[in-house]
Amino acid sequence: MWYRKAHSKAWIEYNNYKMNINRIIIYPKDIQRITGKSDRYGRQLLNKIRQKFLKEPHQFVTIEEFCQFTGLSLEQVSTYLDD
């Protein structure tokens, strides 16, 4: 996977699949849309991901880290992200 900047938006190429994603951070509301569970579940899952990747509580979780943790592909997740 590689990243490049184009017109102030990040373009991600993942297995020859190009997506235009305006952000790299995932939020509890995004997790709620993806899983169909509550916002609280999303916050708890983000905390588990932070623990796994040895992040501090104030640090953000990226979409890529979420995909690695959950086993979902970037293509699947990107369909639920609205910018």
Residue ranges per domain, the chain? Answer: 24-83
Predicted confidence band of residue 31 (pLDDT cuts 50, 70, 90):
very high
- The tens digit of pLDDT for each residue in 40-68 reads 999 999 999 999 999 999 999 999 999 99
CA–CA distance, 45 with 1 (Å, rounded to integer): 24
Question: Would you call 42 exposed, middle or buried from its count of C-beta atoms within 10 A (0-12, 13-18, 19+)?
Answer: buried
Which pLDDT score, from 0 to 100, does residue 5 have? 43
Q: Which segments of 1-83 are extended strands (E)?
A: 2-6, 9-14, 17-21
CA–CA distance, 28 with 45 (Å, rounded to integer): 8
- Percentage of the chain with pLDDT > 70? 73
Cβ atoms 30, 41 nearer than 8 A? no
